[in-house]
Amino acid sequence: MSAVASSPAAGRRPAPRNRVQRFLTSSIGLKLIMAFSGVFLSFFVLGHMLGNLQAYQGQQALDDYGKLLRKEPALLWTARVGLLTLVALHIYAFLALTRRNTSARPVGYRQRKWRESSYASRSMSLTGPLLLAFIIYHILHLTTGTVHPQYREGEVYHNLVTGLGGVNGVIYILAMAMLAFHLWHGVWSMLLTLGLPEGRYRSLGRRGATLFTALVVIGFATLPLAVLTGILK
């Protein structure tokens, strides 16, 4: 009676065959996917914020901005699909890296003492899913009008002012607080991944991340605050 010896690699998952697959599933590849998707998403967030600030120029200015975006439906939907793809890649890279880190250390530390990491970095796994939930709500609220009882097609200013009052305004402000933590650490981490020699504290990259985050978050947060205080009517 003969026994067949099983090799240690028998139960392992087969490695990707080509270089592209090996790179994209490696830790470096996943970090680059997160970095580059984060770059484009950060620029989109900045552009979206600047566009929304046209509300301070009056109803006509913001409505004309909305009409401009819908002037070429093919380009608009291409941009939307591109953004959704970037979000999906960002989430995929995050989940893959998290799973890899968990597999590397299945048993956690008995006692943790945070010396180098900031609260923003430790809360990325929390702010990320919460921001995803907010994005879905934001699309249903101000893009499609599904959960906006006073939504009017094409009237961007009206939808914004009637949609950001009361509890909704508070929700948007809290979402911007989460965005501040996520964006602040994300931008700085992105610079490190792309190879820039940025120190943890008092570096050019950290200051740039702080300035960029403050610009985006304050710009967005002023809109619900302006509605809640009656500046935008």
Residue 114 lies in a domain: no
What share of residues in the chain are helix, strand, coil (percent, to 5)? 70, 0, 30
Do the beta carbons of residue 225 and residue 192 sit within 8 Å? no
Specify the pLDDT at position 196: 64
Average pLDDT of 22-37? Answer: 84
CA distance 39 to 47: 13
Of the listed ranges 81-90, 113-122, 126-135, the one predicted with least confidence: 113-122
Q: Does any domain span residue 233? A: no
19 in any annotated domain: no
Q: Would you place residue 1 in the very low, low, confident or very high pLDDT band (cuts 50, 70, 90)? A: very low
Q: How far apart are CA 67 and CA 61, in angstroms?
A: 10
What token pair was written down for 12? 């392992």
Residues 6+ apart with CB under 8 A from 155: 63
With both helix axes pointing from N to C terminus, report the angle between 166-193 and 124-138 in degrees, rounded to the nearest 10. Answer: 130
In a domain, 1, yes or no: no
- DSSP class of residue 18 equals S
How many Cβ atoms sit within 10 Å of the Cβ of residue 124? 16
pTM for the model: 0.79
Q: What is the DSSP letter of 229?
A: T
Assigned domain for 4 exists? no
In the numeric block, the tokens 């919460």 are attached to 130
The residue with greater pLDDT, 8 or 57, is 57
Does residue 2 lie in a domain region? no
Mean pLDDT of all residues in the chain? 83
The domain of 158 spans: 26-98+120-228
Residue 34 clears pLDDT 70, i.e. is over it? yes
pLDDT of residue 114: 43
Is 115 a domain residue?
no
| pLDDT bucket at 162, cuts 50 / 70 / 90 | very high
Tally of domains within the chain:
1
CATH label of the domain that carries residue 220: 1.20.1300.10
For the chain, the residue count is 233
Of 87-91, 150-154, 168-172, 194-198, the least confident: 194-198
Mean pLDDT of 12-31: 74
Helices and strands counted in the chain (H then E): 9, 0
Q: Within a domain: residue 105?
A: no
